[in-house]
Amino acid sequence: MTVHIAADLKQYARPVDELIPLPDNPRHGDVGAISESLRRFGQLKPIVVDGEGLIIAGNHTYLAAVSLGWKKVAAVNPAHLNGDELAAFALADNRLSDLADYDEAMLLEQLSALDDLTGTGYSGDDLDEIRLTLDEPLAFEELDSTDARLDINKGTGRIICPNCDHEFQWKDRGKTSA
């Protein structure tokens, strides 16, 4: 199988059977979504391992690569860090992205500009959720009467008629209405 490692990372390629997933990793990642991303984009950033091949950061990337049948992944060893520092880095790697926020309007603009969301971790439903958060209207052709997106946030929303461009307001009161 072809290894899909970015050219700049190929020098760090290591056989997957030399690496060991962190046994007590408190983070539970979406291996399926990561697999989809690896399938589309390849590996663009290395996994971080200690001197013994124990994965410190990138456990779910490793699992996704293995699920795709990859024989090698790029992995780096920050030899300047000791055991406690590696453990702290593992926690920081998991936590720091959790502390970030999104500019929802900018995110929607960038996602809407893409023709294909494959590998991004986002779906069309995610775009609709962001639109509702921003109080942007959904088009009728995107919805049907059982569409779960109509009760997102259990609040109000706007929907635009595709025939006359009339904007309808709806409020979730236990059932959907236009």
DSSP 67-113: HTT-SEEEEE--TT--HHHHHHHHHHHHHGGGG----HHHHHHHHHT
What is the arrangement of strands in the sheet containing 55-57, beginning at the earlier edge strand?
A: 13-15, 72-76, 47-49, 55-57
Residue 158 carries which side chain, given as an amino acid letter?
Answer: R
* Paired tokens of 23: 């046994």
Q: Architecture of domain 7-99 in CATH?
A: Alpha-Beta Complex (3.90)
What are 48-99's pLDDT values in tens digits?
Answer: 999 999 999 999 999 999 999 999 999 999 999 988 999 999 999 989 988 9
The answer to whether residue 110 scores a pLDDT higher than 50 is yes
Q: What is the pLDDT of residue 178?
A: 44
14-23, 37-46, 143-152, 154-163: the lowest-pLDDT one:
143-152
Spatial separation of the C-alpha atoms in residues 79 and 51, rounded to whole Å: 7
DSSP 47: E
Whose tokens are 């236990």? That residue is: 174
Determine if the pTM surpasses 0.75: no
Q: Confidence class of residue 129 from pLDDT cuts 50, 70 and 90?
A: confident
Q: Which residues contact 32 (CB under 8 A, 6 or more apart)?
A: 64
Q: Which residues pair with 57 in a beta bridge?
A: 48
pLDDT (0 to 100) of residue 122: 94
pLDDT at 146 over 80: no
> Domain residue spans in the chain?
7-99, 104-171
- In 3-state terms, what secondary structure has residue 145? coil
pLDDT at 154 over 50: no
Which residue in this structure is represented by tokens 């997106």?
149
Strands 156-160 and 167-171: antiparallel
